[in-house]
Amino acid sequence: MITRKTLSLNNIFTFAGHHLYWLTAWMLIVTAIYYFTDWKVLTMPTLPLTLIGTSVAFYVGFKNNQSYDRLWEARKIWGAIINNSRIAGTTIKNLHSENTQPADSLDIRKQFIFRHIAYLYQLRVQLLQPTQWEHVSLGLRFGIFNQKRKNAIFRAYTKELEEIAHKKYLSEAEMQSLSKFSNKATHILDKQTEIVQLLFKNRQINMMQQMELQNTINNFYHEQGKAERIKKFPLPRQYSSFSFIFVCIFVFLLPFGLIGPISSLGKEMVWMTIPAGVIVGWVYVVMEIIGDYSENPFEGLFNDIPMLNICRTIEIDLLQMIGEEEIPLPVEPKNNILI
């Protein structure tokens, strides 16, 4: 997630500046051919280009709206995980049956808290696993380029990621048992239900409290399922692919539609087709790639949901609830990006 209010010129160029090179080259080629040959066949009426540009703008706008919906839904999912985690923490800490005290099962209740923190970090790891349609998985230089972007972002958080790797919220035996499960986060939630059942069996919580705790665990299943749906089901490829194709068609025709009106101002003025075409084409290309990068909120790039920051926030809240003394520091933005 980008944290600064406005993007710097460096941020803009890093994100979309490289598209200026091929746009300039294409506009220059068409303009130079027209200038030196005076082929009228290279001109086209502006009306078709205007209609195409308007249609493409509507289509790209629709795609961007759907992409933003996926991004915002992902953020709402993690917002619900924050709320449910706090509910789970205060519930497991304070609810007890009439005949017992929380101290009677303090170790078990702390184990529940620790395992929940481990669950959050495990869910984050699972959601960051690349799928074949994400940018970091693309072939040739595009995938390599985005993988380098991802590595650079994560490299800035080396200290925080190493801290998490060394935290022992799960026992060694439980860590080994997790290795045989494909969905480790789901198995951790299953173990949480076992703890709730153990508390009820030992009469340390009553039936109503057991049901309330289990409903909270069930809410994590629901939110995890929603996040996995976004992760494992992409924006339909026909919307994504045709949006890209339509922008390419528009940019391809752009210099042919600009040459005629501009050259009517004078032969030397035809060179103004280059900056005019680059600016208009770049605007359409940037609209396209903004939607393209927004549709995958769990791929580890700059537009992601800041899951590490959210997990650390929940971790701090829960550890403070149970009176732990070693509290980690909040995750702060690095290079104006929060992950």
3-state secondary structure (DSSP) of residue 334: strand
128-153 tens-digit pLDDT: 998 888 887 776 656 677 888 888 88
Among 81, 108, 114, 79, CA closest to 96: 108
pTM of the model: 0.88
How far is residue 98's CA from residue 252's CA, in Å, rounded to a whole number?
A: 75
Exposed e or buried b per residue across 123-141, where buried means at least 16 C-beta atoms within 10 angstroms of its C-beta: bbebbbebeeebbbebeee
181-237 tens-digit pLDDT: 889 999 999 999 999 998 888 888 888 989 999 999 999 999 999 999 999 998 888
Among 205, 219, 218, 185, CA closest to 81: 219
Among 74, 168, 84, 173, CA closest to 124: 74
Q: What is the dihedral of CA 172, 173, 178, 180, to 10 degrees?
A: 120
How far is residue 124's CA from residue 174's CA, in Å, rounded to a whole number?
A: 19
Domain ranges across the chain: 80-235+308-339
Report the residue count for the chain. Answer: 339
